[in-house]
Amino acid sequence: MSHTTTSTSRPAGHLSGARGARLRQARPKVHPQGERPSRRARLLGWIFMIAVGLYFLAPVYWLIVASTKSTGDLFSTPGFLFAEFNLWQNLVELSQRENGIFWRWMFNSLIYSGLGSVLMTFISVISGYALAMYRFRGRNVVLAAVIGSMLVPQTVLAQPTYTLLVNIGLNNTMLGVLLPSLVYPFGVMLGYIYAQSSVPQELLEAARMDGASEWRAFFSIALKLLSPGAVTILLFAFIGSWNNFMLPLLVLNDTRLQPVTVGLSGWSQAAITVPGLQTLVIVGALVSIIPIVIVFVSLQRYWRAGLAAGGLKL
Amino acid sequence: MSISTSTTPAGSRRAWRSGVRWAPYVFLAPFVTLFLVFLVAPIVTALYTSFFSVERSGLGFGNANESVFVGFDNYVRAFSHTGFITSFGRVLLFGIVQVPVMLTLAIALALLFDSATVRWKRFFQLSVFIPYAVPAVVATLLWGFLYQPRVSPIVELLQSIGVSVDFLAPGTVLWAIANVSIWSVTGVNMIIIFAALQTVQRDVYEAARIDGASELRMALQIKLPMVLPAVFLTTLFSIIGTLQLFNEPMTLRSVTSNVTGDYTPNMAVFSATTLGGNLNLGSAMAIILGLVTFALSIIVSVASNRRKGAAA
């Protein structure tokens, strides 16, 4: 274990420090005595934080307010104040527009991002585990490829991927969006770091001596130890693929296959000539971020639970 | 750490050794397959495509299009494509302003959250981080409304105190986009730096405190240097993100005509690929953009390693 630990802190020490920190130690909340700032510092701190809070939350607050307004009120009443409560009508209209295409988009996003990120996380964890726990021929090549490709962002790949998909006939299909997004080198890197720091080699060997197969050792022992790290990967993978815009825009012609982001931005474009569509863009935007916020908050709870359960002693 | 040297009863050894030999390959198979098909193959395809050009052969008989090898012609065309070249200058300007502003804000917030100066930490941290959960497209749609004079309460407020601004004017729209991206990504960078701060051993600060260092001095002279690796990491990701700028300007096009189709390098690639219908030129542009990104990442990494070496 100690060997694994020291070797972790070298090659990608700052990465593990940054992302893995939350997992490693639950720090006591109480500050050491003496760290008591002056009254002026605290006042300035408050003013700064309130300004920051306003900046980051006001747009979200506006979105909620605007979602409850009719198109007429949207343009004629003060933006930050509630007017006549029209949210239910807006939702009904949102659901009925173009035979409920909005919900189809939400479903597509769920497939692309939900299913996609779960698969992405599994692939990342199992690959990171293999790289961390085994010494085998080709390991360095794979590691170098992972690190190198972390510097090649998805958007640069979008155009080449589109060209490839056209060549193999997968353009304008759901698989054409789903499959390319499963390549997630950053996730593999995180999986590698987490495996190094949280799966003791001795445990693996003990499992082998008990006659467990490699497969079994991974699924029934390592995966449990890796689950807090996996949640972190899942969060990044989910947000990353939910943000994926260029590839679906290139690949999908059929509006019924689009993720919600592409669909809404299409509506936003059409809103220039179609009155009333603006309200639907607003309500749609609100509805579309609710699942992410739920995923986000619930994963955060899981994180904290993982921290409390602990078990990760470095 | 070599596995074969570990001590095991001789009988079971052979059985698990073959498993040990094959397991890593089996475990890595899905990733490596996907990596080859959807990362290596696209790059190879793009590289190949970028050296060809589709030409109409004959006199229009039978619609026979032919791919002809043209060497570096597409690259020459990309470099003489004014929109494409201008777009690099634009994202450079964008990055010079957006990256420092965003990172300064993220660092300041991380340091504040790490000190005893602020109350309600969890609430404020969550409010800074929430925008990161809003996809860039939706964030832009949202801010798009806040920029439009007819709907925006912000424009309204500013007008009531006698300031008239047009967030979407040709000169300001770039900063309107910068604002959206600052709003979106400050939170995640703050979290990364904050997490790094949390790993620093607390007793390091004690000595400084006994020496009478103020909270501010401690933050800037002790805490900040200790999390420089995390700061470099966020800088690197921000620079890459800047070069890839696409979602925000592309979405903002639905609100303003002041964002052109080739506003950023990535948008130029996109429009060459779709509307222009020239996959070959688009491929050359994508390769150029990839190379520039890669080169810049290497420069930043080397610079950060040098700094780290100097600090150690």
Lowest mean pLDDT among A59-63, A294-298, B126-130, B223-227: A294-298
Name, of A29-38, A83-92, A141-150, B172-181, the range with top average pLDDT. Answer: B172-181
Helix H, strand E, coil C: the string for A80-103 is CCCCCCCHHHHHHHHHHHHHCHHH
Query: Are B152 and B274 contained in the same domain?
Result: yes
**Higher-confidence residue: A30 or B118?**
B118
Phi-psi label, residue B167: left if phi above 0, alpha if psi -120 to 50, beta otherwise: alpha
Quick one: pLDDT at residue B10? Answer: 47
The per-residue pLDDT for range A72-131, each reduced to its tens digit, is 888 888 888 888 888 999 999 999 999 999 999 999 999 999 999 999 999 999 999 999
Quick one: pLDDT at residue A232? Answer: 81
Name, of A61-65, B215-219, B271-275, the range with top average pLDDT. Answer: A61-65
The per-residue pLDDT for range B154-193, each reduced to its tens digit, is 888 888 888 888 898 888 999 999 999 999 999 888 888 8
Residue A312: partners with Cβ closer than 8 Å, 6 or more residues away:
A23, A24, A197, A198, A228
Query: Are B201 and B270 contained in the same domain?
Result: yes
Choose one of B69, B92, B108: the last residue of a domain: B69
**Nearest residue on chain A to B7, alpha-carbon basis:** A205
Mean pLDDT of B89-117: 92
The answer on pLDDT for B86 being more than 90 is: yes
The per-residue pLDDT for range B255-268, each reduced to its tens digit, is 888 999 899 999 99
Quick one: pLDDT at residue A307? Answer: 36
Lowest mean pLDDT among B127-131, B177-181, B197-201: B197-201
Chain A residues inside the 8 Å CB shell of B35: 145, 149, 183, 185
Average pLDDT, chain B: 84
Choose one of B44, B69, B94: the last residue of a domain: B69
Chain A residues inside the 8 Å CB shell of B32: 142
Mean pLDDT of B19-37: 90
Query: Are B183 and B225 contained in the same domain?
Result: yes
Alpha carbon separation from B159 to A300, B164, B281 (Å, rounded): 41, 5, 46
C-alpha to C-alpha distance for B67 and B63, rounded to whole angstroms: 13
The answer on pLDDT for A30 being more than 60 is: no
Quick one: pLDDT at residue A13? Answer: 36
Residue B277, min C-alpha distance to chain A (Å): 12
The answer on pLDDT for B96 being more than 60 is: yes
- Quick check: A56 contacting B, CB < 8 Å? yes
Its ipTM equals 0.84
Say which amino acid occupies B257: S
Query: Are B158 and B247 contained in the same domain?
Result: yes
Alpha carbon separation from B174 to A74, B243, B268 (Å, rounded): 26, 14, 16
Mutation target to probe the B interface, by most B beta carbons within 10 A, among A30, A155, A205, A218 is A155
DSSP A179: H
Q: Which has the closest alpha carbon to A49: B190, B214, B112? A: B112
Mutation target to probe the A interface, by most A beta carbons within 10 A, among B3, B44, B117, B209 is B117
Judge whether B192 and B237 are in contact, CB under 8 Å: no
Quick one: pLDDT at residue B240? Answer: 86
**Using CB atoms, which residue from A151, A160, A296 is nearest to B133?**
A296
Lowest mean pLDDT among A52-56, B64-68, B142-146: B64-68
**Nearest residue on chain B to A245, alpha-carbon basis:** B247
B75 assigned to some structural domain:
no
DSSP states of chain B: --GGGS---HHHHHHHHHHHHHHHHHHHHHHHHHHIIIIIHHHHHHHHHHTEEEEE-TTSGGG-EEEEE-TTHHHHHHHT-HHHHHHHHHHHHHHHHHHHHHHHHHHHHHHHHHSSS-SSHHHHHHHHHHHHHS-HHHHHHHHHHHH-TTT-HHHHHHHHTT----TTSTTTHHHHHHHHHHHHHHHHHHHHHHHHHHHS-THHHHHHHHTT--HHHHIIIIIHHHTHHHHHHHHHHHHHHHHT--HHHHHHTTT-TTS-TTSSHHHHHHHHHTTS--HHHHHHHHHHHHHHHHHHHHHHHHHHHHHHHHH-
CATH number at residue B85: 1.10.3720.10
B8 assigned to some structural domain:
no
Chain B residues inside the 8 Å CB shell of A262: 137
B196 assigned to some structural domain:
yes
Chain A residues inside the 8 Å CB shell of B30: 123, 126-127
Q: How many helices (H) and strands (E) does chain A have?
A: 17, 0
C-alpha to C-alpha distance for B248 and B136, rounded to whole angstroms: 6
Mean pLDDT of A9-15: 37
Query: Are B104 and B159 contained in the same domain?
Result: yes
B6 assigned to some structural domain:
no
Beta bridge partners of B55: B66
Mean pLDDT of B19-27: 86
**Nearest residue on chain A to B50, alpha-carbon basis:** A160
**Nearest residue on chain B to A186, alpha-carbon basis:** B237
Residue B86, min C-alpha distance to chain A (Å): 18
The answer on pLDDT for A3 being more than 50 is: no
**Using CB atoms, which residue from A31, A158, A261 is nearest to B137?**
A261
pTM listed for this prediction: 0.83
Lowest mean pLDDT among A287-296, B43-52, B69-78: A287-296
Chain B residues inside the 8 Å CB shell of A32: 202, 205-206
**Nearest residue on chain A to B48, alpha-carbon basis:** A160
C-alpha to C-alpha distance for B84 and B267, rounded to whole angstroms: 9
B218 assigned to some structural domain:
yes
Chain A residues inside the 8 Å CB shell of B136: 243, 245
Query: Are B46 and B90 contained in the same domain?
Result: no
Quick one: pLDDT at residue B19? Answer: 74
Predicted confidence band of residue B14 (pLDDT cuts 50, 70, 90): low
Judge whether A271 and B255 are in contact, CB under 8 Å: no
B4 assigned to some structural domain:
no
Alpha carbon separation from B123 to A49, B52, B151 (Å, rounded): 10, 56, 29
C-alpha to C-alpha distance for A122 and A127, rounded to whole angstroms: 8
**Using CB atoms, which residue from A53, A127, A159 is nearest to B283?**
A159
B9 assigned to some structural domain:
no
**Would the CB atoms of B12 and A53 count as touching at under 8 Å?**
no
Residue A37 in 3-state DSSP? coil
Query: Are B53 and B86 contained in the same domain?
Result: no
Chain A residues inside the 8 Å CB shell of B256: none
**Nearest residue on chain B to A290, alpha-carbon basis:** B134
Which domain does B278 fall in, by range?
81-311
Quick one: pLDDT at residue B13? Answer: 53
Query: Are B158 and B36 contained in the same domain?
Result: no
Mutation target to probe the A interface, by most A beta carbons within 10 A, among B14, B27, B231 is B27
B13 assigned to some structural domain:
no
The answer on pLDDT for A302 being more than 70 is: no
Chain B residues inside the 8 Å CB shell of A14: 196, 229-230, 232-233
Quick one: pLDDT at residue A313? Answer: 24
Lowest mean pLDDT among A96-100, A217-221, A285-289, B118-122: B118-122
Query: Are B64 and B85 contained in the same domain?
Result: no
Number of domains in chain B: 2
Choose one of B8, B39, B69: the last residue of a domain: B69
- Quick check: A3 contacting B, CB < 8 Å? yes
Chain B residues inside the 8 Å CB shell of A5: none
- Quick check: A135 contacting B, CB < 8 Å? yes
Judge whether B269 and A159 are in contact, CB under 8 Å: yes
Share of chain B above pLDDT 70, in %: 89
Query: Are B48 and B89 contained in the same domain?
Result: no
CB contacts < 8 A (A, B)? 307
Query: Are B135 and B280 contained in the same domain?
Result: yes
Chain B residues inside the 8 Å CB shell of A66: 145, 151
**Nearest residue on chain B to A21, alpha-carbon basis:** B195
Query: Are B217 and B289 contained in the same domain?
Result: yes
Residue A222, min C-alpha distance to chain B (Å): 13
Quick one: pLDDT at residue A276? Answer: 82
Chain B residues inside the 8 Å CB shell of A261: 135, 137-138
Judge whether A131 and A139 are in contact, CB under 8 Å: yes
The answer on pLDDT for B139 being more than 90 is: yes
Length of chain A: 314
Task: Look at the block and give the residue holding tokens 């999390």.
Answer: B227
Task: Look at the block and give the residue holding tokens 């420089």.
Answer: B228
